[in-house]
Amino acid sequence: MWQAEVRVDLDAIRDNVALMRAGTSAEVMAVVKGDGYGHGMLPSARAALAGGATWLGVATLDEGLALRRGGIEAPVLAWLHSPGLALHEGVEAGIDLSASSLGVVEELVTAARRAERTARVHLKLDTGLARGGVSPADWPAVLEAAAKAQADGDFELVGVWSHFACADMLGHESIDRQLAAFADGLAVAERFGITPRYRHIANSAATLTRPDAHYDLVRPGIAVYGLSPIEGETFGLRPAMTARARVAQTKRVPAGQGVSYGLTYVTERETTLALVPLGYADGVPRAASNAGPVELGGKRRTVAGRVCMDQIVLDVGDDEVAAGDVATLFGPGDDGGPTADDWAEVAGTINYEIVTRFGSPRVPRVYDGTAGVPA
């Protein structure tokens, strides 16, 4: 008998990728960083590939190596590298690596020579996000060094890429400004003899709303898992994750009873409280205290009092609720059930954070569907 679980619909992941693949002439890189946004990196990767993705994207070298150890042979791009990492291991594993500075270019040359293998490299240009990436002022120097590394046989310059700041804000002026900066950066690269096979800038939002940004490759992340990056739009995506637990205990309490730490919720009448064994150690945001929606007994309830490390409490009034009944924190929203978007709204965050938080080792993931499951 299970106490709490996160269920992941692999067929939904497959279908979400297939939906986006059908809407573009570009190839699709499914981003599976952050343990597949909390859905499990390897199963999510396999399901995404089953849906038509031809690439996988991760943040760290270790994530890329884990995909290779898991038997994934598809192209993988890893893009976030601090100085001194064993980048040669990525080169040896055939992982594409991003260079965001002259220093990383130099480290990748060293890595390629140590691995005695050509490094597959994507150069990242900062077009306005002001996060990772080469600044426009430094772009020519990086291009010059990368072109030399390619001429020397150390690099294969596979891609040039960037990342949007506000693609989820439809019509934001920065979107066109970044696209123009990206086009300028590609033109400069061409002057250095760099004509990459893959030019890519589109994240989930741009994949779904800006076909002019698709170039050769799109990089959906949150949309792979069925969550929309744009408020109020679903684009036909289906959320893949459901978080639920069995009620551990119920009890009758009198009117005027304070509930949970700080007694911030006080019962208005004699009522039944239901204890649900999921808390902030499992991914439930504490910011959703007195606000988080939970479906129990066919009704939508609200967390009563503060979210604790291991549990939350629901005030169910006089409804018939018993220990062992299933309480659903969020899922695909069928029949009006709560969703990750609902939790994000009450917690003052984004749906990305809600699902990614649910990675506690004491809450097992259970996989539904057959997409990408080895025969």
User: What are the residue numbers of the active site?
Assistant: 33, 261
What does the block give as tokens for 188? 């400069």
Q: Angle, nearest 10°, between helix axes 41-50 and 61-69?
A: 70
Instruction: Answer yes or no: are the C-beta atoms of 327 and 213 closer than 8 Å.
Output: no
Phi, psi of 6 (to 5 degrees): -115, 120
- Residue 266's contacts (CB-CB under 8 Å, 6 or more residues apart) are 256, 257, 258, 259
Question: Residue 251, exposed/middle/buried by CB under 10 A (0-12, 13-18, 19+)?
Answer: exposed
- Residue 267's contacts (CB-CB under 8 Å, 6 or more residues apart) are 253, 254, 255, 256, 257, 259, 273, 315
Q: What CA–CA distances, in Å, run from 19 to 14, 27, 58, 78? A: 9, 13, 21, 24
Distance CA 271, CA 316 (A): 7
